[in-house]
Amino acid sequence: MKTKEEILRLFKAKKGQYLSGSDLSQKFLVSRTAVWKEINLLRGEGYLIEAAPRRGYRLIRVPDLLLPAEIRYDLETKILGKEIHHFKEVISTIDIARELAAQGHPEGTLVVAEVQAAGRGRLERKWFSPPGGIWISLVLRPNILPMDAPKITFLMAVAAAIAIEGQTGIPAKIKWPNDILIKGKKVGGILCEIDAEPDRVIFAILSLGLNANVDLDEFPPEIRTVAASLKQATGEKIDRVRLLRNILENLEKNYSQAKKSNFSSTLSQWKDLCDTLGKKIKISTPYGVFEGLAQDIDEHGALLLKLPSGEVKSFASGDATVLNSRL
């Protein structure tokens, strides 16, 4: 761990107390000049650190950023988030995570951005990613068949929904195939892209976009009626770092269980949280539009749609719209 992060942890442990440059240099076995440089690096990241003659330094304020040191602080995971790459602005976290995965970076590598200039969702759609959201991508290396890849999305959906309700008290629901809803509006979306051979997944990039502290008037006009943010729903600013930690911890728990039980536990949770099953829906696909009853999820994570004829078709992907009329 870098000295800078170690100093930050000590600041937090001391809770506003002054730490002298001499004590810091002795504790970390570096010169006082090196301590001063590390302090300035922290200041450059947005930490407000006061310096007082004969007293030393103390931490006054932590920046509202998803910085690696903040995410790792009290993060109870063994794999996810142990390697973190943070950016003020990127084109897309997915692209960076894919490059890192191809270079051999370990499972659990996390890419975080404060802003995405061209974040994307399913079917190459643009994902609005202004400051205040949680825009992340994770490198996973699951030992599964490519046909089971849709279930990886379920892991994140369950982890995020549970974390949102746990922190805000607002029930979060899942809309097939990849949306997170609060009060019927979309607050987040999930995307999973894989690099695979016919019989195995080499790596997966699991991404989450979550409207945490995005103001409603910042949304493009065409999506304001269907989008939501946690800040808007709760009436107060969300602790993004805490929420992201909770999501990562939930996700790692789900992922570990999936390796042992073949996703059965996650699929059960997903069904309990799903806002799509049991309703009449319309699914739009490149091969046509289908209407029917969203009946269930199969063992691969595909949606089973019961058509008016009684035939049951499975869909691994598609755009689902809930219909008001009955079958």
Question: Which pLDDT tens digit goes with each residue over 47-100?
Answer: 999 999 989 999 999 999 999 999 999 999 999 999 999 999 999 999 999 999
Kindly state the tokens that stand for 22: 């001499």
Q: Is the peptide bond before 177 cis (omega within 30 degrees of 0)?
A: yes
Kindly state the tokens that stand for 111: 């890419």
Domains annotated on the chain, with CATH: 3-61 (1.10.10.10), 68-273 (3.30.930.10), 280-322 (2.30.30.100)
Residue 194's φ and ψ, nearest 5 degrees, are -125, 155
pTM, rounded to two decimals: 0.91
Residue count of the chain:
327
Beta-bridged to residue 193, according to DSSP, are 205
Q: What is the pLDDT of residues 121-171, one digit of tens each?
A: 554 556 678 999 999 999 999 999 998 888 899 999 999 999 999 999 999
